[in-house]
Amino acid sequence: MHIPDGLISPQTYLPALVLAVPLWWWAGRRFTAAVGDEALPRLAVFTALAFLLSSLMLPLPGGTSGHAIGVALLALVFGPWVAFLAYTLVLVLQALVTGAGGITALPVNALVLGFVGAWAAWLLFHSLRRVQPAFAVLAAVFVSVLLSALLVALVLGLQPWIARAPDGSPRFFPFDWSVTLPAIVLPHVFIGLGEAVLTLLVWRHACRRRWASVACEREA
Amino acid sequence: MSILAPPASGHALLHQVLEGDAVLVRFHFSDGDRPYFETYQVLGPDDARPFQTGRINALGEVSFRPNRPGRWKVIVATEDGHGAEARIDVDPGSLAVADPGGAGLAQAARLSAGVGYLLGAFGIVALWRLQRARRSRG
């Protein structure tokens, strides 16, 4: 679901950069307090897991393919600010090493996948965990994936309206919302379900090992 | 006079088969699948208006014939938001091309390298913290 370079306009990624920089700065300030020396190796492994989850393409019904995101797991175990920062590192490496995403698209991807994905998962989990923790994890991850997919579809579908060549043709991404919304959101229903189940399994393991945040320890 | 006038061909679409070198770019996803019949546009150096647009062929390839040197771009966008921007440097005086961002490593090697870089980055943070703690202890 990463937006690659060349598909979004400067009218999109420059404001996103202006918004993302202070958020990265604030997340960096929170990082030292939130992640102690003991938790740092675990964060490294969880970030590597998110990197792999969001890099491996899986076949989906309908002949298309997609990949998980992985930021919700980071958010549930380490909190949304740490997840946002760690996932930005994932996005940077994917842009530089695996060719997924891109450098100009990094602020948009970081905000949509890293920031919104992490905060949606964390907020929903904390809203629902008193009802049933496992259900809260499943719902949080599913909604987080779908919300990120919806935002990616909206950002891409906006491009034909805001960036046109002199002859009126789309300068960057050519499809509008009538195409992007079903093409991106519907496959992520399956991805969200799969990622929710996988996240629940890893989250339970993290709880048993007392690796995760205070909220998780209470429910373990 | 009417005998000497050239035939009126204002509404005829004629064609001419030429021989010439072209740039051929093949696209593929990390799982080996190809973006068959997806839309693409070719942009010449510093161009805002596309030099060529169309759909990728049944082999997952785009071909075009650049008419000047410089950095050309082939941008592919799929409906589900995947895409790529291939940058191709065309040398002056020839069609020799270089792809500065082309694939060099297999996907498995790229993933392994990515995981390695990630773990290494956190290792550097851990070392920095250790060093800082030692300094603060005096």
Half-sphere exposure of residue B117: CA atoms within 13 angstroms, side-chain side: 19
In chain B, domain spans? 19-98, 101-137
Q: Which residue has the tokens 């546009």?
A: B41
Residues in B closer than 8 angstroms to A59, CB to CB, are 31
Q: Chain A: nearest CA to B95, how far in angstroms?
A: 24
d(CA A208, CA A196): 18
Residue-level pLDDT at A145: 96
* Res. A184: pLDDT tops 70: yes
Residues in B closer than 8 angstroms to A56, CB to CB, are 111
Residue A141 CB neighbour total at 10 angstroms: 33
The average pLDDT across B49-77 equals 90
Residue A209 CB neighbour total at 10 angstroms: 10
d(CA A96, CA A5): 12
Contacts of A193 (CB under 8 A, 6+ apart): A142
Q: What is the pLDDT of residues A37-84, one digit of tens each?
A: 888 999 999 999 999 998 887 776 666 677 889 999 999 999 999 999
Q: What is the pLDDT of residues B91-119, one digit of tens each?
A: 877 666 666 555 555 777 888 888 999 99
Q: Given CA atoms B92, B94, B96, B101 in this order, what sign does their dihedral have?
A: positive
CB contact (8 A) between residue A166 and residue B48:
yes
CATH no., domain A10-209: 1.10.1760.20
φ, ψ for residue A73 (rounded to 5)? Answer: -60, -45
Give chain A's length. 220
Contacts of B39 (CB under 8 A, 6+ apart): A174, B53, B54, B55, B56, B76, B77
Least CB–CB distance from B113: residue in A89, A97, A153: A97
The residue of chain A with its CA nearest to that of B47 is A165
In chain A, domain spans? 10-209
Q: What is the pTM of this model?
A: 0.80
CATH architecture, domain defined by B19-98 = Sandwich (2.60)
Least CB–CB distance from A52: residue in B50, B73, B115: B115
Least CB–CB distance from A52: residue in B81, B84, B111: B111
CB contact (8 A) between residue B119 and residue A48:
yes
* Res. B47: pLDDT tops 70: yes
Residue-level pLDDT at B62: 93
